[in-house]
Structure 1
């Protein structure tokens, strides 16, 4: 298996822990990380989360209880998880997973600061529109 560059560490083991909502990943360089599903979800590499430019990034809210309901390999370079909120378009390369694990504290602090600045939180999803209930809204 190859990483993004020939010197990139590659996973030697990936485990999902549903009860604790952690992805446990070990790499060929000996590093090992437990990455919360929530962190994986809010830092999804998909265009719907990151946008096509940093200015287009969409702050993810209300993801504290998100689960990974399925995960499939993508070639020899990434995984594609399906989250319980329906998000399934992020391809997590080995380099992205390594970065999320290695810089987890920094990513959490950045995320919590962005939530606070937006007046949002980890428990209420304000990024998904509410389901349509029908009617035109007039009384």
Structure 2
């Protein structure tokens, strides 16, 4: 009869790296800390945005070109929306990067999924930032 010491069970460790780390750094620690801090900031930014845009002063029925032009006339609201855009994109992209690392089995698949993620993040942040900074409330038809 075999004992437990005789039977060496080898179980795959979930989330264990498939290859040894080439270098040691604290990127994952900083990434984890960023997720917590940006998540708290996003709660404040998004709830404030929802309160102002959807609940106060008539709700969504008052939102039109004039409302956006009046709101973005203030640097405070442009900064608010810019922070919300950047933090939401970086927070979501970092979370998706973690999912890709956890579930993509092949190195090539992981690489191309991350490249698609990074390209889409840069495009969305660039386009959103361009709109926020170049919005002209005095446009004529």
Alignment TM class, shorter chain as reference: under 0.3
Judging by fraction of residues, say which structure has more helix. Answer: 2
Instruction: Give 1 or 2 for the bigger CA radius of gyration.
Output: 2
TM-score by length of 2: 0.26
Higher percent of residues as strand: 1
Larger relative contact order (C-alpha < 8 A, sep ≥ 6)?
2
